[in-house]
């Protein structure tokens, strides 16, 4: 049944550590297939050579063929970066550090202000 707000067909079976649905290959090899790739093949036919299957909805567990598109790896990566959340869950802008790591300076400051300072650690009241 589609998710009512997005139309995504959320995979309810096993998922890998990145949140993508997995399905057994069914040939006794012990191999698994990515559920979204299997859904694409069943609905649209073979995946063109060298192409990735992109989730247009940005939901990794979605297997709705209408939300899947075969694209080059470069396009898939660019779309993924464009879909990254520009703000933290509390709505503050992220600071971007070398290597692409993101951190919210405001939330980090708030978190650190609630921690005891090093000068007072181990001091009894």
Read off the pLDDT of residues 33-45 as tens digits, 9 standing for 90 and up.
999 999 999 999 9
Q: Architecture of 1-84 per CATH?
A: Alpha-Beta Complex (3.90)
Count of H-run helices and E-run strands, the chain? 3, 6
Q: List, in sequence order, every beta strand (DSSP E) within 14-82.
A: 22-24, 32-34, 52-55, 68-71
Task: Report which secondary-structure segment, H or E, holds 125.
Answer: none
What is d(CA 10, CA 13) in angstroms, rounded to the nearest whole number?
A: 9
Q: Are 103 and 95 in contact (CB under 8 A)?
A: yes
Tell me: the pLDDT tens digits for 50-107? 999 999 888 889 999 999 999 998 888 878 776 666 667 777 877 777 666 778 888 8
Q: Which helix (H) or strand (E) holds 95?
A: strand 95-96
Q: Where are the domains of the chain?
A: 1-84, 86-117
pLDDT of residue 25: 76
Cα separation of the two ends of the chain: 58
Whole-structure pTM over 0.85, yes or no? no
The three-state secondary structure class of 21 is: strand
**Which residue is associated with the tokens 């470069």?**
74
């Amino acid at each position: 049944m589609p998710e009512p707000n997005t139309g995504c067909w959320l995979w309810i079976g096993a998922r890998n550590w990145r949140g993508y649905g997995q399905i057994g290959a069914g040939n006794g090899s012990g191999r698994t297939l990515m559920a979204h790739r299997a859904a694409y093949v069943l609905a649209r036919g073979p995946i063109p050579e060298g192409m990735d299957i992109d989730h247009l909805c940005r939901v990794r567990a979605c297997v709705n063929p209408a939300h899947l598109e075969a694209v080059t790896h470069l396009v898939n990566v660019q779309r993924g970066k464009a879909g990254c959340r520009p703000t933290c869950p509390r709505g503050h802008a992220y600071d971007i550090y070398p290597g692409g790591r993101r951190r919210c300076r405001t939330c980090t400051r708030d978190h650190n202000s609630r921690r005891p300072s090093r000068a007072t650690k181990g001091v009894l009241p």
